């Protein structure tokens, strides 16, 4: 019996190593389970701030996108420290703060903290995180009464928006941003380790934000340069196209009248030409020379108008007389085509108006010439008149000039770029292949230089066109 009693403990002793191993395994399993439950349900977490800093530091140095960087920083802080809210504010070059990433805060609340410059001045002075719980002590120890008032206001504001920590981000001595953190979900206060983590993170994040900003600036500059290069390339291409079109127009416009002049001149040397035919040739020769003169004048005028602002040289003019002389000048051309050219001459009592005479003459001449050129039957009616402004500028006069024809007409597509350089509609090209596309461009530029407006109205193809010009008058001279 005694032997058996002594043998029992010896058997139990042999099981002790096994029991020890089982106990350790059970402890580890229970510890892991407890840690998981505590972290999830009681917001209790064991974390190494050194590890978090190391991991986040490795990540943020690889991120150059400002949005991604701010999201990574705020989400990491919020998740790791189990915060109910967090926001990062970035300071713009003009001093304003903008929200980069926000979790939990109302946007207006996040901005309200920095609306008063006191917070940034205080963070600039202390160069460390501002903790809500420490504000009461700071208020107590404040030297000036104004600082006490400001600290109390800041404390009230942080309490109102439920902010617990304001973490400054520096570039040298200047604040470039602020991270505002809410409460821990567990209700715990921010520990010394927490603040050390935040200060270390702020240094890392400040550098990353500066790098990101520089990257954004370089990217914007690069895109800007690419855009400028593209724009310049397009401008050069446009200028080359304009030059080619200009040379084509000059070549075509000069070749036709010169060929006519040369051909008719050589025929005039023949002695056996009948007198009537000779007179006809001389008339055509004159018209061709006149056309050549107009073309050369248009080319030189258009060249001065491209890219240059024109200043009108105002002087007292008899507008009725100017229009009448130009109508008389074009009457033979209209008669040769078998169309009527009528000037409804107004009675302005000999009143002289302040106009740029050269500009006005070219406006009138080009519109009448254009109307005759594209009218095959019917006629052209020219009108001139004065009207008084109502409303703003009441009492001042406006010169109204219009040319109405029964010719080719204009469709809506042609209207869109009617006054462009070298622009001619398809119908105009078919009806008169030798046109230059300079006349209406010159008219438009001169009307604009004189502060006026020009409008083209047409019911469509083959339904005629009316060009109406309005020129405001600065003064009238008796």
Whether the Cβ atoms of residue 164 and residue 182 lie closer than 8 Å to each other: yes
Is residue 427 within 8 A of residue 411, CB to CB? The reply is yes
Beta 397-405 vs 379-388: how paired, if at all? antiparallel
pLDDT at 4: 52
State the CB neighbour count (10 A cutoff) for residue 432. Answer: 13
Q: How many CB atoms lie within 10 A of CB 131?
A: 20
Q: Work out the end-to-end distance of the chain between its first and last CA atoms, rounded to an integer number of angstroms.
A: 153
Strands 453-457 and 340-344, by their bridges, are unpaired
- What are the pLDDT digits (tens) for 211-252? 888 888 888 888 888 888 888 877 777 766 666 666 666 666
Write out pLDDT tens, residues 96-141.
888 999 998 887 776 777 777 888 888 888 888 999 999 989 989 8
What per-residue confidence (pLDDT) applies to 272? 65
- The CB density around residue 220, as the number of other CB atoms within 10 Å, is 10
How many Cβ atoms sit within 10 Å of the Cβ of residue 399?
Answer: 23
CA distance 18 to 29: 17
Spatial separation of the C-alpha atoms in residues 332 and 261, rounded to whole Å: 19
Question: Are 379 and 405 spatial neighbours (Cβ–Cβ below 8 Å)?
Answer: yes
* Residues forming beta bridges with residue 353, ordered by sequence position: 317, 476
Average pLDDT of every residue of the chain: 81
- Classify strands 379-388 and 340-344 as parallel, antiparallel or unpaired: parallel
- Tens digits of residue pLDDT in 316-362: 999 999 999 999 999 998 998 999 999 999 988 778 899 999 999 99
| DSSP code per residue over 116-177 | STHHHHHHHHH-S-EEGGGHHHHHHH-SSHHHHHHHHHHHHHHHHHT--EEEEEEETTEEEE
Q: Are 73 and 209 in contact (CB under 8 A)?
A: no
Of residues 135, 200, 138, the one with CA closest to residue 169: 200
pLDDT at 282: 74
Which of 44-53, 70-79, 396-405 is modeled with the greatest confidence? 396-405
> Which band of pLDDT confidence, cut at 50, 70 and 90, is reported for residue 271?
low
pLDDT at 49: 55
Q: Would you mind telling me the total number of residues written for the chain in this entry? A: 478
Give the confidence band of 5 by pLDDT, cuts at 50, 70, 90. Answer: very low
Stretch 438-462: mean pLDDT, rounded?
91
CA distance 417 to 437: 11
pTM of the model: 0.49
Query: How far is the C-alpha of 363 from the C-alpha of 440, rounded, in Å?
Result: 9
For 61-91, what is each residue's pLDDT tens digit? 778 888 888 888 888 888 888 899 999 999 8
């Amino acid at each position: 019996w005694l032997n058996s009693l002594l043998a029992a403990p010896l058997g139990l002793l042999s099981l002790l190593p096994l029991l020890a191993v089982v106990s350790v395994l059970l402890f580890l399993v229970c510890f892991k389970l407890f840690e998981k439950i505590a972290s999830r349900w009681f917001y209790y977490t064991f974390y190494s701030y050194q590890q978090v800093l190391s991991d986040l530091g490795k990540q943020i140095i690889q991120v150059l996108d400002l949005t991604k960087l701010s999201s990574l920083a705020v989400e990491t802080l919020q998740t790791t420290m189990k915060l109910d809210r967090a926001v990062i504010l970035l300071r713009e070059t003009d001093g304003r703060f903008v929200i980069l990433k926000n979790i939990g805060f109302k946007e207006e609340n996040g901005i309200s903290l920095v609306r008063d410059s006191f917070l940034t001045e205080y963070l600039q002075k202390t160069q460390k995180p501002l903790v809500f719980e420490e504000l009461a002590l700071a208020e107590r120890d404040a030297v000036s009464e104004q600082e006490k008032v400001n600290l109390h206001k800041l404390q009230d504001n942080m309490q109102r928006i439920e902010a617990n920590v304001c973490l400054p981000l520096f570039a040298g001595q200047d604040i470039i941003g602020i991270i505002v953190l809410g409460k821990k979900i567990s209700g715990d206060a921010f520990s010394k380790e927490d603040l050390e983590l935040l200060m270390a993170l702020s240094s890392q994040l400040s550098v990353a934000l500066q790098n990101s900003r520089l990257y954004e600036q370089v990217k914007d500059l690069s895109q800007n340069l690419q855009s400028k290069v593209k724009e310049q390339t397009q401008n050069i291409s446009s200028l080359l196209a304009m030059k080619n079109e200009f040379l084509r127009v000059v070549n075509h416009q000069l070749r036709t009248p010169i060929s006519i002049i040369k051909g008719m001149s050589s025929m005039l040397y023949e002695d056996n030409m009948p007198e009537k035919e000779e007179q006809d040739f001389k008339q055509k020769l004159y018209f061709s020379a006149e056309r050549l003169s107009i073309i050369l004048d248009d080319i030189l005028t258009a060249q001065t108008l491209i890219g240059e602002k024109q200043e009108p040289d105002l002087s007292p003019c008899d507008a009725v007389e100017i229009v009448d002389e130009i109508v008389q000048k074009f009457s033979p051309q209209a008669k040769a085509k078998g169309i009527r050219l009528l000037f409804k001459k107004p009675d302005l009592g000999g009143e002289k108006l302040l106009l740029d005479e050269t500009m006005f003459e070219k406006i009138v001449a080009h519109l009448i010439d254009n109307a005759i050129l594209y009218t095959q039957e019917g006629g052209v009616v020219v009108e001139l008149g004065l009207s008084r402004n109502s409303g703003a500028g009441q009492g001042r006069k406006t010169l109204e000039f219009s040319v109405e024809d029964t010719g080719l007409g204009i469709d809506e597509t042609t209207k869109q770029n009617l006054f462009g350089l070298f622009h001619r509609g398809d119908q105009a090209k078919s009806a008169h292949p030798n046109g230059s596309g300079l006349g209406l461009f010159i008219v438009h530029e001169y009307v604009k230089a004189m502060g006026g407006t020009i409008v083209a109205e047409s019911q469509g193809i083959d339904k005629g066109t009316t060009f109406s010009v309005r020129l405001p008058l600065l003064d009238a001279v008796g």
